[in-house]
């Protein structure tokens, strides 16, 4: 199954395109630019035939340069690369100037472990299958056809003993595929192969004892699930005049919104330079918004599960795992689809087709009032614009949708689906302390999904923002509140990084306002946007556990830092095999001022997943996320000017 997944998700289409017209500074890299960058590195003797590219992406211009940029200005195009050199354990970073065709900088990064690459994934299967100890463990379980076993390479987590120090490790977990399509239905419990990717061998094997491999398959294609319900009658989504948005390169204009987007090989879907046209005047909202890190810790402390705490972004790269989207199922039929260009492990460019969808959808009721006396109704139907991509990371699938609304609000929706990571249990109804039974002989361990989004907000301009915590509380009884029904709102300005390490509070309906310290609306109020939490969780691992040390950003729902170009990833640049305390926990130690400056808001939300049988063998989509709502950004409802004709009815 894993190999079949790779063959569809990693089927590159090679490009050979000539250089095109002048690009915008934030336009994604072209195949010609990727090829040129690799040639420059080769010419500088920084790569050879054995070098692997962990990352090759556009190095976005400094923010200060982007704020000064005007159409027609000269464009500097640079490429940032992370190289895994042939010498074991040697990792280097390079910056290449494409216009000057020169190497700008090159440095080694001691102790870093880059992301797990496609070549690592492919190599793991062969290494494990060839290991005599692993073969003996399979024979103990009655399995002799090793080609029918799917081996998933799990990131190592933290180094867990002296024998692991200095190695580049993945931990091979086995599932029996046989003639089925879904190998996860038949986990081979109790066996984990520790693979040294540099030495290309299994250096340690864990076998905690035989648990019978489940016999039942759990395929979920139409031919496998049994009788199907009657299909609903057709629902046509038609736009006979085409979509209402305009796209120029990677810039989108729709209903007063204007923004750019890209797919970063590590971060996935990225928003750039988001602004709102307010009565013809462009007003900045966001400079850049992206998934900063994704962390999935499992709650089973047993020997064959304790290492399973994975940084899906920093250890695997979410962008390069974006699917080719299917119209009418992944996204609606009216979606406009965009390809992405990446570099493979050898630095060769390829196209991943249809990675991003842009589409309009019905947004429900926008606003309404029916006059009680006259019966006159005034109402408007909303239209949404959705920018959508889906990444498949092994067994799980994650959708990310940025939704733009006509009332000036913006929301992020994370969509969790795919197959839960299961374990085999000894009996068809066996109880498990750290898991829930989801099928006979199959239990799914409890786990959590944490997402951290980096939001570089520039509300009405960069350099003059602050963050205010908004809490609502009952007014204390007294002469000013004799009925004991008063309700007050408390504003707390977060002045330093330490003050801004905050948690969600249901009791006070807590929100955070990112507001301008210089711009005012017609009512004299500071213009701003509210960060409104959705579903959230707190980490279940103990504060001094190595889970929490590796992913320190989960310790708080909100972090705020002053803008710093190099601070991009909440768990640090190299979370693979890190002992932790990198990223946000390290950056905020200086307790820098965050008042009246260019602020970056880091928001963490979590989903605590206690599995249900209804989520097996593939789970219905679970949605979580947050909203950004204008708060004083406008002086009245900005959607008043939406005409009735905006329903789009022909």
pLDDT 10s digits, 29-73: 999 999 999 999 999 999 988 999 999 999 999 999 999 999 989
pLDDT digits (tens, 9 = 90+) for 158-174: 877 888 988 999 999 99
Those residues whose C-beta lies under 8 Å from the C-beta of residue 146, and which sit 6 or more positions away, are 129, 135, 138
Which pLDDT band, with edges at 50, 70 and 90, does 16 fall under? very low
User: Is 365 part of any domain?
Assistant: yes
Whether residue 596 sits in one domain with residue 639? yes
What CATH code is carried by the domain that includes residue 50? 3.10.450.40
Label residue 394 left, alpha or beta by phi (over 0 means left) and psi (-120 to 50 means alpha): left
Strands (E), 128-234: 149-155, 169-176, 187-196, 201-207
Whether residue 368 sits in one domain with residue 344? yes
Residue 479 has pLDDT above 90, yes or no: yes
CB 273 within 8 A of CB 456: no
User: Is 316 part of any domain?
Assistant: yes
- pTM value? 0.95
Whether residue 103 sits in one domain with residue 144? no
Give the sign of the dihedral formed by CA 591, CA 592, CA 595, CA 600. Answer: negative
Whether residue 130 sits in one domain with residue 61? no
Whether residue 163 sits in one domain with residue 78? no
Q: For 284-312, what is the mean pLDDT? A: 97
Count how many Cα atoms sit within 13 Å of the Cα of residue 631 in the half-sphere of its side chain: 18
Q: Is 69 a catalytic residue?
A: no
pLDDT digits (tens, 9 = 90+) for 433-477: 999 999 999 999 999 999 999 999 999 999 999 999 999 999 999
Whether residue 127 sits in one domain with residue 49? no
State the pLDDT at residue 22.
Answer: 67
pLDDT digits (tens, 9 = 90+) for 365-400: 999 999 999 999 999 999 999 999 999 999 999 999
Identified catalytic residue from 152, 196, 312, 323: 312
Whether residue 408 sits in one domain with residue 375? yes
State the pLDDT at residue 649.
Answer: 54
First to last CA, the chain: 47
What are the CA-CA distances from residue 236 to residues 239, 328, 332 (Å)? 10, 11, 10
- Give percent of the chain with pLDDT exceeding 70: 96
Last residue of a domain, one of 75, 108, 141: 108
| CA proximity to 9, closest of 395, 276, 386, 289 | 395
Phi, psi (5° rounding) for residue 166? 85, -5
State the pLDDT at residue 89.
Answer: 81
Identified catalytic residue from 2, 276, 396, 574: 396
Whether residue 378 sits in one domain with residue 509? yes
Last residue of a domain, one of 47, 73, 108: 108
Q: Tally Cβ neighbours within 10 Å of residue 69.
A: 16
Range of the domain at 73: 2-108
Strands (E), 265-422: 268-278, 281-297, 309-311, 336-343, 349-370, 377-393, 396-405, 410-418
Q: What is residue 346's DSSP assignment?
A: T
Whether residue 158 sits in one domain with residue 272? no
State the pLDDT at residue 646.
Answer: 54
CB 635 within 8 A of CB 429: no
Q: For 292-318, what is the mean pLDDT? A: 97
Q: Which residues pair with 378 in a beta bridge?
A: 369
State the pLDDT at residue 566.
Answer: 96
Whether residue 524 sits in one domain with residue 573? yes
User: Is 38 part of any domain?
Assistant: yes
Whether residue 497 sits in one domain with residue 476? yes
User: Is 221 part of any domain?
Assistant: no
Last residue of a domain, one of 88, 108, 128: 108
User: Is 238 part of any domain?
Assistant: no
Q: For 576-605, what is the mean pLDDT? A: 96
Q: For 406-433, what is the mean pLDDT? A: 93
Q: Is 295 a catalytic residue?
A: no
What are the CA-CA distances from residue 604 to residues 14, 124, 416, 521, 531 (Å)? 37, 32, 16, 30, 12
User: Is 542 part of any domain?
Assistant: yes
Q: What is the mean pLDDT of the chain?
A: 94
Residue 281 has pLDDT above 50, yes or no: yes
Whether residue 572 sits in one domain with residue 432? yes
pLDDT digits (tens, 9 = 90+) for 556-578: 999 999 999 999 999 999 999 99
What CATH code is carried by the domain that includes residue 524? 2.70.98.20
Q: Quote the number of domains for the chain.
A: 3
Measure the CA dihedral 432/310/613/8, to 10°: -140
User: Is 236 part of any domain?
Assistant: no
User: Is 170 part of any domain?
Assistant: yes
Q: Give 307-335 as a DSSP string.
A: T-EEEIIIII-SGGGB--PPBTTTB-TT-
State the pLDDT at residue 8.
Answer: 38
């Amino acid at each position: 199954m894993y190999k079949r997944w790779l063959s569809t998700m990693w089927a590159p289409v090679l490009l050979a395109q000539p250089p095109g017209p002048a690009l915008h500074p934030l336009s994604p890299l072209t195949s010609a630019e990727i090829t040129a960058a690799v040639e420059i590195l080769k010419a500088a003797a920084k790569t050879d035939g054995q070098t692997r590219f962990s990352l090759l992406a556009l190095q976005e211009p400094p923010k200060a340069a982007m704020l000064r940029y005007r159409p027609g200005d000269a464009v500097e195009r640079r490429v940032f690369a992370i190289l895994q050199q042939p010498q074991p354990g040697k990792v280097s970073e390079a910056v290449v100037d494409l216009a000057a065709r020169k190497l700008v900088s090159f440095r080694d990064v001691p102790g870093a472990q880059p992301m797990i690459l496609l070549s690592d994934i492919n190599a793991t299967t062969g290494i494990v299958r060839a290991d005599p100890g692993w073969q003996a463990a399979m024979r103990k379980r009655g399995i002799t056809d090793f080609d029918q076993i799917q081996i998933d390479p799990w990131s190592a987590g933290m180094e867990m003993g002296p024998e692991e120090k200095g190695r580049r490790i993945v931990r091979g977990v086995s599932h029996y595929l046989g003639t089925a399509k879904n190998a996860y239905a038949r986990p081979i419990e109790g066996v984990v192969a520790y693979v040294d990717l540099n030495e290309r061998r299994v250096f340690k094997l864990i076998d905690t004892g035989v648990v019978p491999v489940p016999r039942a398959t759990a395929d979920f294609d139409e031919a496998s699930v049994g009788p199907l319900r009657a299909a609903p009658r057709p629902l046509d989504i038609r736009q006979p005049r085409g979509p209402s948005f305009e796209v120029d390169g990677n810039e989108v204009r729709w209903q007063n919104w204007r923004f750019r987007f890209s797919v970063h090989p590590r971060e996935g879907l990225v928003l750039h330079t988001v602004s709102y046209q307010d009565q013809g005047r462009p007003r900045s909202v966001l400079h850049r918004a992206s998934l900063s890190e994704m962390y999935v810790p499992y709650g089973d402390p047993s020997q064959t599960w304790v290492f399973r705490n994975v940084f899906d972004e920093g250890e695997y790269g979410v962008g390069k795992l974006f699917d080719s989207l299917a119209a009418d199922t992944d996204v609606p039929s009216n979606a406009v689809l965009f390809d992405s260009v990446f570099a493979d492990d050898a630095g060769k460019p390829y196209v991943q087709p249809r990675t991003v969808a842009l589409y309009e959808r019905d947004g429900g009721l926008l606003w309404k009032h029916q006059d009680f006396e006259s019966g006159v109704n005034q109402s408007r139907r909303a239209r949404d614009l959705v920018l959508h991509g889906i990444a498949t990371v092994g067994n799980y699938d994650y959708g990310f949708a940025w939704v733009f609304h006509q009332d000036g609000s913006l929301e992020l929706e994370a969509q969790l689906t795919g197959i839960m990571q299961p374990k085999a249990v000894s009996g068809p109804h066996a109880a498990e302390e750290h898991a829930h039974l989801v099928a006979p002989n199959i239990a799914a361990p409890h786990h959590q999904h944490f997402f951290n989004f980096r939001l570089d907000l520039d509300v009405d301009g960069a350099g003059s923002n602050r963050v205010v915590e908004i809490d609502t509380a009952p007014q204390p009884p007294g002469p000013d509140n004799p009925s004991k029904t008063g309700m007050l709102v408390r504003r707390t300005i977060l002045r330093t990084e330490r003050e801004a390490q905050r948690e969600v509070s249901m009791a006070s309906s807590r929100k955070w306002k990112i507001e301008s310290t210089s711009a005012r609306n017609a009512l004299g109020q500071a213009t701003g946007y509210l960060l409104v939490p959705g579903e959230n969780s707190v980490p279940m691992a103990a504060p001094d556990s190595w889970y929490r040390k590796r992913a320190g950003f989960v310790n708080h729902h909100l972090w705020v830092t002053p803008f710093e170009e190099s601070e991009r990833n909440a768990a640090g640049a190299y979370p693979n095999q890190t002992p932790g305390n990198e990223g946000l926990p390290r950056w905020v130690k200086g307790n820098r001022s965050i008042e009246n400056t260019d602020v970056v808001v880091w928001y963490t939300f979590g989903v605590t997943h206690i599995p249900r049988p209804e989520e097996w063998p593939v789970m219905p989509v679970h949605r979580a996320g947050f909203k950004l709502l204008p708060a004083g950004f406008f002086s009245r409802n900005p959607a008043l000017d939406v005409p009735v004709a905006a329903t789009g009815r022909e």
